[in-house]
Chain A
Amino acid sequence: MGATRVRIAGGAALALIAILFLVVNLIAQVGLTGQRVDLTQNRLYTLSDGTRAVLAKLDEPITLRLFYSATLANQFPAFKAFSGRVTDLLDAFKRAGHGNIRIQIIDPAPYTDTEDEAAAAGIQGNETPSGESFYFGVVGTGPIGGREVMPVITPDREPFLEYDLAKMIVSLTAEKKPVLAVISTLPLDVGFGGAMAALRGQSHPFAAYSQLAELYDVRMMASDFVEVGAHVDMLLIVHPPKLNPQQLYAIDQFVLNGGRAVVMVDPNAEVASQMAGQGAPPPQMTSDLEPLLGAWGIKVDTTKVIGDRRLATKVTIPGSRRPVDYVVWLRVPKAQMNHDDVVTADLDQVLVATPGAISAVEGATTTLEPLISTTEDAMAFDPIMLRVTGDPQDLLRGFEPTGKPFTLAARVTGPVKTAFPDGAPKVTEEQSPNPTKEGETPAFGAKERAALKESATPINVVVFADVDIIDDRLWIEEMGQGAQRQVVPRADNGNLIVNAVENLAGSSDLIAIRSRGAASRPFEVIDGLKRDAEQKFLARSQELQAKLQATEARIQELRSARPGGAGGAIVSAETEKALAEARAEVVATRRELRDVQRNLEVDIDNLESRLRFVNIAAMAIVVAIVAFFISLVRLRRRRARRGVV
């Protein structure tokens, strides 16, 4: 009786425990999302403050639809892991969006309505080996009917995925295109032919300008502007003319008020030489933005042009058949660009002509973060040199590398003071068509904003020490005429400028979103071994190939030297012997070549098998030895004890 009661009570208690366990975990499953410790090095699973700020500002719902061919992804295991990261990130967005972010994950299975939906939404399908379309992209729809599409998400963009998504959300909530005001002596909007030629279809805007005009409300500032209006979101200053104090003051105040600017100045702007014309004044070849740059803690020396031997572009000069290195025209590869900054991270190559160098001024309160740098094989020239000599080889002959890289483009951030501590400058009639009148306080550029002595928030400016980056001749090829005209970029110059503007155009929250390290962490040691082996292999195999060719050539020669030509029957014994030797040599060389190839991976194989041994057997052997000794000691002790007894 008692036993039965105990059994019933025990059974009930067990059932209660099971129910408690289930309930607690069901609640935890729903209620405890987001309580986590992120142990990853780059805090991969934690949203940056910038994203959180963007999401916190949402007051209307945004829907993010992820089109992901989950069923097809089974064929690509590596991609599955990446897609997990993407859905995790979307999940984090949803949590931080406090109900204003809706996430839908759609699997556009082949031959279904959802597949049509994905295609209609602008998601790019990629053909799989089995012939079906694989989709992986995001469509965002906003409260005011806006739509933004990320047609395809690739693993190499992973470090910037959070930035891309946040940018998508920001542009979905933006009500109008941001205003980009341009200050430039170059006719970016109509091209060198001028407005009349443009009307006749004979001239066209700069390609980079056209790219910007698609994204922004771009307005060219008149040369006699007196202020930067409050409606302006960003400034793009490209090869500025000599600005008068009131204009500089206007720019100064714009930036201090949190306005963002992309500045392009140049010690030698080759692009300007196209402005030369009959009767026109000689073009302005040099530009700067002093005293503003100085106030921002940087300096672009207009008396120095930077050359880099390793990045030099090859040019053909009259009278020389071989192309020669022109050290001041630089082909800047990915390696010389900042991988961690969203402006340059995705670019492959930028072409730069006769750039200057950016350096930090002593005691600067700002941080200068290089975006594009030269190699250490670089030096500074006097721009006069370029105009005097017509021969690139002269530059090469006198080349003495300074051993340190120069910064060609940089991001400048931090707090700054005004370049006009005495307030708005008074200007005379000579300086400006809008002179300061007697008894009037100049308030140019400050009409709609308070005059500031120092920056309200840290400034954020991107500076290029080269204007030619924007020159179409440098980076695009044109095909066709008129309506058929097509622009084919040879380098990423346009993207560089658009990225810089786009990054600065975003809210400061967006700029603050850092990139994360790439997910891939390769076996560097093995890769290194592979590289070494390949290098060795290449040298040796070239050697052997040459030997092989030489021997084969000798065989040919011997054959044709036979009396009666190649088909001759009578062969001297000597020739026959030489032929046999040569043939044997060919066989031996071929074998050696094969051996070299086979030995290519021998170092790696050795390393791998060593590591396999250490990890599979070594520790087990150590444990076995320890166990053996311990049992030996025990046995001895036991015996000793027995002996005593």
Chain B
Amino acid sequence: MGEMLRYLALDGTSVKDWSTVMSSAYLLKLYQHMVLVRLYDKKAIALQRTGQLGTYPSHLGAEAIGIGTGAALEDHDTLIPYYRDMPVQWMRGVSMTHNLLYWGGDERGSDFPSLSGDFPFCVPIATQCTHAVGVATAMKLRHQRSAVLVNLGDGATSKGDFSESINLAGVWQLPVVFVINNNQWAISVPRKLQSAALTLIDKAKGAGIPGVSVDGNDVIAVYDSVKEALQRARRGLGATVIEMHSYRLSDHTTADDASRYRPEEELKAAWQAEPLLRLKQYLINARLWTDSKQHEWEQSCGRVIEDAVAQYHATMPQAPESAFDHLYAELPQELHQQRDALIQKAMRMEADNDG
């Protein structure tokens, strides 16, 4: 596999000097965000189980990748996320309510305030890679000192869109960073059945761009590698592929049952390497954190999450005709009749429900 960037060992001891990467206070901040999004994830699953949310893809085990990459991005950069990227969006200022709206089946979940045109979640696998190189091309043409970060899973690296995108990023020296969350499973297909390549960054070699191997459960390593790749991109030095080694501790989505295909021992071992455990241990050892602070923080996270859920529940439904209202910049004449018909139908349905 070659050398993998890592700062903290599994037992929470520091194995590499990170004093130039970030301050202890900042690391603590990142840890707090990681705890928050983990608790949010738990809540979202509970909402799904009780019929208050649609199918939801847990990011359990990906907190370091999400929070670390989100922290490394600057406001003027653009994020092209995939569907498991709530933590990155959170760091980009997207509210939990927006995330709940999205997975609750409301298009306004992707209508979040954005400084730089961040894309919505991408459900079709790997297609977002091509959008990222398009955005990067626009930035390059306009001589912007900005970069694009695109996230994908290990399964996405099997698709042509990924190969075609890294190929173009190499040829045109584009300011884009591809972050692969190699969480070892693409639904039920394990990494070894996904590709015969020894590592996924071997694919970057074919595109003529550098690949970096990172412990994706180590938020310092995630932050450091992404920050460096983004800076490289902004300086006009081209693209980077980063393979974050991690593990999907959850099912693929709430519609999946990983116990059908995933060995129990493997999951147990993965929990020993998960991203929060070692960081908490480190922070406690460094006297930056205590169990009681943890308790207090979790309480305050709970309140933030409950507020978001309350806002989600209180959000007025979209008007039924909104299905037409954002289809085109200006609705074609021939669709006005269909729009009216939808309104009539909705009124009948509401009257029936009231009756």
**Do chains A and B stick together as partners?**
no
